[in-house]
Amino acid sequence: MEFGVHHANHYYGHSHVLARYCGLDDAEPPRIHGYLQHGWNIGDGMAPDHEYVPGIAKFVWSERVRRRAWSLGRREVYVVGAPWAYLLAMEPPADEPREGTIFYPFHGWEGQHIVGDHDGLIREIRDTETGPVTVCLYWQEFRDKRVRMLYERAGFRVISHGYRGGWWKDLDPGFLYRQLAEQRRHSRVASNRLCSAIMYGTLAGCEPAVYGDPMQLEGEKSAFGGQARIVREWGSLHGTSIDAEHARTVATAELGADRLLPPAELRRLFQWPRPQETPDFELTGVITR
């Protein structure tokens, strides 16, 4: 398996999804020759806690991120769109009914845990949502019985999409597929912070909502303006009821769904080989430059 450059390229099965789109083996994706943005980002697209080698290509999701990267002195920055948008292009929705809300509480990560009032958030969810609620926890909180049982005892269905992978171990090519399947069975997607999951769900056809205690990471630093800037700049995407058409316009731009590249161009940028077999899907709804 030829993994390289940076292990974060494979978070959530991103490289696997893009390999499939390019007609390559998505079980063993080739090495991406550069750094791939792995989450919705209000900065230059790259995680601030990672080290990057100058001169190596950076592949970001949107034109706004590319412009911010240039303003910070980053070069060799290319807009390719989010892996999520490519997955939607490969997986057309089934004509099935949607019901209820999938709620994503703001989560920690391996290096930082969450500090916040889960009981208070549960009360707000109960007061706001009228249909059944699925709470999707990050694997870290899902394994924490104390946190998980708070939501279970509230009567919510509690799930996790899985482990994102790290350092080329425990990779999970099915992560985004499970997330997409769950979001497509729900009418609404909600969180207590504007995040990737809200952008994803909006693009997948859910009505978005952002409300409740935003919580904090232990020792949280306000990189690129932090939560205060998010509320200020994306204020129209906060509330218990958001204009779905406006939200979809924003999500399309933030995920670069209007900037998806043809497979041949994406392979060229990643320095990937030509496929030997015909892709196993028919593209639907791809918007290219």
CA separation for the pair 88, 180 (Å, rounded): 8
Token reading at 185: 């069975």
Domain definitions of the chain by residue range:
7-91+254-270, 101-252
Amino acid at 47: A
Give every CB contact of residue 30 below 8 A, 6+ residues apart in sequence.
2, 19, 24, 270, 272, 273
Mean pLDDT calculated for residue range 236-259: 97
pLDDT of residue 128: 98
Token reading at 144: 């924490």
State pLDDT tens for residues 70-118.
Answer: 998 888 999 999 999 999 999 999 888 999 999 999 876 555 566 778 9
Mean pLDDT calculated for residue range 117-146: 93
Going by pLDDT thresholds of 50, 70 and 90, the confidence category of residue 171 is confident
- Can you give the length of the chain in residues? 289
CA separation for the pair 124, 23 (Å, rounded): 45
Token reading at 261: 């590249």
CATH number for the domain whose boundaries are 101-252? 3.40.50
Q: Cα Rg for the chain, rounded, in angstroms?
A: 19
Give every CB contact of residue 110 below 8 A, 6+ residues apart in sequence.
140, 166
3-class DSSP assignment, residue 123: helix
State pLDDT tens for residues 187-225.
Answer: 999 999 999 999 999 999 999 999 998 887 655 666 667
CA separation for the pair 81, 287 (Å, rounded): 10
Give how far Cα 146 sits from Cα of 32, 143, 162, 212, 255, Å. Answer: 39, 9, 18, 20, 34
CA separation for the pair 282, 269 (Å, rounded): 22
Q: Which long-range contacts (CB under 8 A, 24 or more apart) does 49-54 make?
A: 49/111, 50/6, 50/8, 52/6
pLDDT of residue 162: 87
pTM of the model: 0.91
Q: Please give the distance of CA 64 from its chain centroid, rounded to a whole number.
A: 17
